[in-house]
Amino acid sequence: MQGVGDNTSLDDRQFTVSARTWRRWEGERPGWPSEDTAIVLHDALGRWPEDLGFTTPPGWIRPEHHEEEQVNRRTFTSITAAALAMGPTAPQHVDPALVDYFQQQLEGHYRADMFLGPHDLIGTVSAQYQLIDKLVRSAKGETRRGLLRAGAAYSALVGWLYQDAGDMDGAAFWRGVTQEIAARSRDPHLIGYSLVNQAQVRTDLGDGHAVVELCEAVLDDADRLVPKVRIMAMQQQAHGASLTGERRSVDHLLDQADRLLSSVDDDLPWGNACRRTPGYLEVQRATCYGRLGLSAEAGSLWAQVLAVVPEAARRDRGVYLGCRQPPPPQRGSRTRRWKSPAPQPPSPLRPVRPACAANWPCWSGRCGRGTMPRSAGTSQRSWHR
């Protein structure tokens, strides 16, 4: 204890140390102080008992670590609360018209995301999911099934908003909720959609093999699925293939998806990015090429995409501009070094805006990851809404 301070440092009427305790502390084998005493010692001397020469007992965790655990627990609770409401709830009448109401609201949330970004929408969409979950518990028959389908779409959007904000813990949790609700709905299209959602998370985590496996599981039932879901699975599998260095598989999968685009004619309220996103598959291919280290091919595609993206789509433009500089190939990648294609005639598409436009706000946490080696274009912000 010498050199750190003397007992006058603890001269506080609310805290006294007996002479016997001081002698024991100054001996060769001082006893371990209680947690309250340890906190006072830290406040007075700026050090924890183990830093003062006390022998640390098994299981000792500094109080500051307890506080960190409490903060983490509060964060986890805030993410999960809307999906983990305790029951039973009081029964109530559920009007079948509510199914259409929630479906119409969903389209509005997709549009709002284009202008607001994830942080301003997470609370709103989560609250609506919580209401759907409450209504499901009282609904019967087709109304219940319709609300389950709506709930799966809302939870998928919440998962995407967390992923777009860069919160992979929240994204993974809500993707799991989506898969559960989709399975309960017995809707094969939603079940496939939920697996693609899981593949998005694995893509951002750089797990290419898991991405491929999840998408293959979706496509095993391709004959039962609307073209839109098959397209989503194919393009996401292409991202998985790019993570494992399989350029040929990337091209094959995206070519297959391209042939299906004209067949998308369902009225499902979710997963419509392939219809409303200009250059949808070109964005996927450009991202995959960037990840594979094919800079020339990726740059050419990004130029074409940016030329047709509306000026009002500020977030999309910001994300795409952030993806134009691709990351280097991963160490150990089996990427083939393909030669750039022969020069092509000038494109009729107008030139893109200068690179300084990359400074436009896009409100996406995924833009802050440098050149976004894992998440740039893994499942871009509007690709699966």
**Crossing angle (nearest 10°) for helices 208-219 and 188-204:** 170
For residue 115, pLDDT over 70 is answered with: yes
Residue 350: count other Cβ atoms within 10 Å of its Cβ: 9
What integer best gives the mean pLDDT of the chain? Answer: 79
167: left (phi over 0), alpha (psi -120 to 50) or beta: beta
Average pLDDT over residues 190-207: 96
pLDDT tens, position by position, 137-188: 999 999 999 999 999 999 999 999 999 988 999 999 999 999 999 999 999 9
Distance CA 235, CA 343 (A): 27
C-alpha closest to that of 284 among 200, 201, 189: 200
pLDDT tens, position by position, 337-368: 333 344 444 333 333 333 333 333 444 555 54
In one letter, which amino acid is 42?
Answer: H
pLDDT value of residue 9: 47
Specify the pTM.
0.69
